[in-house]
Amino acid sequence: MTLTSTPPQHRVAPSYPFALDGAHERATAGRGLVPAPTGHVIASTTALPDAPDGPLNRFGLAVRKDAEASATPGRFAAELIDLHTALVRRTLEHAVEHLGVRTVGGTALLGRQLVQAQLADVALRLRELQVMPAERRVAGRGAPWRTHRRLVGLGRDLLRLLGGSGFLVDGPGGDLHLAEVTGNVYLHPGTEHTDA
Greater pLDDT, 40 or 72: 40
| CATH fold of the domain at 14-185 | Butyryl-CoA Dehydrogenase, subunit A; domain 3 (1.20.140)
Is-contact 195 74, C-beta < 8 A? yes
Mean of the pLDDT values across residues 60-66?
Answer: 92
The predicted-structure confidence for 113-160, as pLDDT tens digits, reads as follows: 999 999 999 999 999 999 998 878 888 778 999 999 999 999 999 999
Q: Residue count of the chain, please give it.
A: 196
Instruction: Tell me what pLDDT residue 73 has.
Output: 84
User: At residue 42, does pLDDT exceed 90?
Assistant: yes
Instruction: Tell me what pLDDT residue 166 has.
Output: 84
User: At residue 47, does pLDDT exceed 80?
Assistant: yes
User: At residue 193, does pLDDT exceed 80?
Assistant: no
Mean of the pLDDT values across residues 169-194?
Answer: 83
User: At residue 19, does pLDDT exceed 90?
Assistant: yes
User: At residue 195, does pLDDT exceed 70?
Assistant: no
Q: What predicted TM-score, i.e. pTM, was given to this entire model?
A: 0.86
The predicted-structure confidence for 77-121, as pLDDT tens digits, reads as follows: 999 999 999 999 999 999 999 999 999 999 999 999 999 999 999
Instruction: Tell me what pLDDT residue 169 has.
Output: 64
